[in-house]
Amino acid sequence: MADLETMRHSTAHVMAAAVQRLFPGTQLGVGPAIENGFYYDLDVPRRLTPDDLAAIEAEMQRIVAERVPFEREELSLDDALRLFEGRGEQYKVELLRDLRERGTTRLDSREDVDVDPNATTASIYRTGDYVDLCLGPHVPDTGQIGPFKLTSIAGAYWRGDEKRPQLQRVYGTVWPTQEELDQYLWRVEEAKRRDHRRLGRELRLFFFDEVAPGQPFMLPKGMTIFRILETLSRQEHARRGYEEISTPSLVKSDLWVQSGHWGNYRRTCSTSEVEGETYGFKPMNCPEATLVYRSETRSYRDLPLRLAETTRLLRNERSGTLNGLLRVRQLTMDDAHIFCRPDQIQAEIAGVLEFGSAVYDLFGFSRRYYLSTRPEKAIGDAAVWEQAERALAEALDASGIAYELKPGEGAFYGPKIDVDIDDALGRSWQLATIQLDFNLPERFQLEYIGEDGQPHRPVMIHRAIFGTYERFLGILVEHYAGAFPLWLAPVQAMLIPVADRHVAYADEVAERLRAAGLRVEVDARGERMQAKIRDAQLQKIPYMLVVGDKEAEAGAVAVRERSGENRGPLPLDEFLRLAADRVAARE
């Protein structure tokens, strides 16, 4: 079996061939394999609609059934030019001219054009009447292509240049087996169903409005989850010896100049004039944490100093990059900075790793770790780098954590550990970074008095566990598909009175449950009971407590679970204990 990428690129040829059969005069752009599939940019005489995809698929099936061989030929550039000119393939001709005149078809490093940049000849692939300018490799014949599906059509400017013609990009996916294709299509549908922007509105957690792009309006239910996460975070920080600080939002630009962030962050930093001076709204907490460190004389005995901060940050991300809660302009990090002696690095990193694991386990996230080491352009002493990198590696080893090494991919100011998590759909999210920093302590002249009575430079560690609350909430919504576990659910139980005369008892029960710390609502609308149950299920509320005459008399509630399971009547006290135990266990 050919490798997946070869099969995917071969399917792109088959698709382009099918489009040329159905729409004579179609010219070829480029058509690479991509993650999960392939696309081809095509200049088709008329605009394709999603309805055309089925016809193209059917034509592709015919080509697959014909088992047409992929045949490679090597031509001189002149012969190749004549061939594609004769076929009216102006885009391929342009690529070949570039190759002949400039020795490359590349306009920039991102461009993925299917031609050898150093070639003096051109290789072409024929599949029946279809001819493509292509390096290959390909499967032996079209019968070797697995089950496929065309997924979408989009516009794509030729060579990414909006002044050039807009081609039609047809996307498809292809897999070795029908089962893998079905799995993939299910994951795509499931991801749409779980989209946090849609669920955020449906479950009344948050919404976005054009008046503030990239800044969520958090609704009471979204804020409830936010606060639960905050409480969890504060508890976990406190028990690990972190202290919480809060630093100003609007800071004179001098600070950003001194920290070196002004150059890199100037575009993303919101500025404001106050009495003729330029202030920046902080995009990060780091420089100000160094001022807190410097506010007292520190001795080696005071270290490590672990300073946590959860204040609001602003970053003017480009509007095109904003993506619901996953990329916002207004963010709240569960940020902390650890200041320590070089000999404490390993223990501190081990502590942060343990912290992360304890938190990620609560959500059932598996994770992957990456250690990035010294890049070519780095500041600081090579010996200190080596010591720090060893400390990071040893902390990972001692914690029993497997990791992948990314040599040379650290920041210029220090090595780092990245943590990716996998969600319920098996999608990977980059979540947290543990970043060592030799730079800021230098720039801000941080010191501690050592055992020798002399001043020494501390190491600074930047780290977050959730990353930002906003993004973490977005990930959680998709991970749970909105059906939050009991301890996180904004409404844990919905009281459903069978008739109006049961509302008073429902209110009484709600009051008792609230007094015990549960989040409860009463659905007192004049709707039928079945409709109320359905609505509560749509809102993904974990418990529905139905109360009628029998329950009111017995001091009970009839318990239904979100899954549809009917537990029947339970004495109120019993339900209370059950729910409280599950919340305490963070179920």
Contact positions vs Zn ion (CB under 5 A): 114, 134, 286, 462
DSSP code for 420: E
- Three-state SS string over 264-331 comes to HHCCCCCEEEECCEEEEECCCCHHHHHHHHHCCCCEHHHCCEEEEECCEEECCCCHHHCECCCECCEE
Please state the closest distance from residue 571 (CB atom) to Zn ion, in A.
52
Give residue number: closest CB to Zn ion.
134
Closest CB to Zn ion among 130 and 575? Answer: 130
Please give the biggest Cα pair distance in the chain.
Answer: 94
Closest CB to Zn ion among 174 and 557? Answer: 174
Residue at 359: amino acid letter: V
Per-residue exposure over 531-569, b if at least 16 CB sit within 10 Å of its own CB, e if not: ebbebbbebbbbbbbbbbeebbeeebbbbbebeeeeeeb
Distance CA 285, CA 335 (A): 8
Closest CB to Zn ion among 206 and 472? Answer: 472
Count helices and strands (H / E) in the chain: 18, 29
Distance CA 6, CA 468 (A): 39
Q: What angle do CA 375, 379, 380 make, to 5 degrees?
A: 115
Locate 371 and state its tokens.
């250690």
- Three-state SS string over 38-59 comes to EEEEEECCCCCCCCHHHHHHHH
Distance CA 454, CA 209 (A): 56
Locate 291 and state its tokens.
């001022």
Residue at 499: amino acid letter: A
Distance CA 380, CA 383 (A): 9
Closest CB to Zn ion among 307 and 421? Answer: 307
SS3 of 543, please? strand
Query: 220-238 and 345-363 are packed helices; what angle lies between their axes, rounded to 10 degrees?
Result: 140
Closest CB to Zn ion among 98 and 114? Answer: 114
**Residues contacting 526, CB < 8 A, separation 6+:** 500
Please state the closest distance from residue 532 (CB atom) to Zn ion, in A.
48
Please state the closest distance from residue 512 (CB atom) to Zn ion, in A.
45
Locate 170 and state its tokens.
């047809």
Distance CA 58, CA 53 (A): 9
Closest CB to Zn ion among 286 and 378? Answer: 286
Closest CB to Zn ion among 115 and 572? Answer: 115
Closest CB to Zn ion among 72 and 240? Answer: 72
Closest CB to Zn ion among 280 and 542? Answer: 280
Please state the closest distance from residue 434 (CB atom) to Zn ion, in A.
11
Among 307, 328, 309, residue whose Cα is nearest residue 317: 328
Distance CA 556, CA 548 (A): 9
Residue 514: CB atoms within 10 Å: 12
For residue 491, report the phi and psi dihedrals to the nearest 5 degrees: -120, 120
Cis preceding linkage at 137, omega within 30: yes
Closest CB to Zn ion among 114 and 317? Answer: 114
Please state the closest distance from residue 32 (CB atom) to Zn ion, in A.
8
Among 116, 117, 118, 150, residue whose Cα is nearest residue 135: 116
Please state the closest distance from residue 542 (CB atom) to Zn ion, in A.
37
Please state the closest distance from residue 437 (CB atom) to Zn ion, in A.
7
Closest CB to Zn ion among 17 and 150? Answer: 17
Closest CB to Zn ion among 205 and 440? Answer: 440
Residue 69 pairs in a beta bridge with: 141
Locate 423 and state its tokens.
């969600």
Closest CB to Zn ion among 329 and 462? Answer: 462
Among 572, 527, 537, 534, residue whose Cα is nearest residue 553: 572
For residue 24, report the phi and psi dihedrals to the nearest 5 degrees: -55, 145
Closest CB to Zn ion among 413 and 543? Answer: 413
Please state the closest distance from residue 138 (CB atom) to Zn ion, in A.
7
Q: What angle do CA 324, 330, 331 make, to 5 degrees?
A: 90
For residue 54, report the phi and psi dihedrals to the nearest 5 degrees: -65, -40
Please state the closest distance from residue 33 (CB atom) to Zn ion, in A.
9
